[in-house]
């Protein structure tokens, strides 16, 4: 990255790293947060909760505009570069 960001092509010397001991990386006795904390949620659970929270907003978004306008807005929000052609199948 130094080559492109700093215009510096010198080699980089990485320092010696000592890995952590596995037991030092555990934050629970079993290493499984979902087993030891009854109210803990997995990433999938959190994503599903958020998706459900956004259901009415998504429905309103698609019902309040025609499809081409909605797709254009989605591309804008996602930062899609309009100058890139769609792939051909």
pTM of the model: 0.52
Q: Are 15 and 21 in contact (CB under 8 A)?
A: no
If one counts every other C-beta atom within 10 angstroms of the C-beta of residue 59, the result is 10
- What pLDDT, on the 0 to 100 scale, is given for residue 18? 93
Span 3-13, pLDDT tens digits: 889 999 999 88
- Which DSSP state fits 30? S
What 8-state DSSP symbol labels residue 17?
-
Stated as kind and residue range, the H or E segment containing 53 is: helix 43-53
Domain residue spans of the chain: 22-78
State residue 23's pLDDT score. Answer: 83
């Amino acid at each position: 990255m130094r080559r492109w960001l700093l215009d510096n092509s010198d080699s980089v010397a990485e320092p010696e790293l000592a890995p952590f001991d596995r037991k030092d990386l555990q934050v629970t006795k079993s290493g499984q947060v979902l087993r030891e904390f009854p109210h803990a949620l997995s990433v999938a659970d959190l994503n599903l909760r958020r998706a459900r929270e956004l259901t009415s907003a998504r429905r309103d978004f698609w019902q309040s505009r025609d499809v081409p306008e909605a797709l254009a807005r989605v591309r804008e929000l996602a930062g899609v570069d309009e100058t890139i052609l769609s792939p051909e199948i």
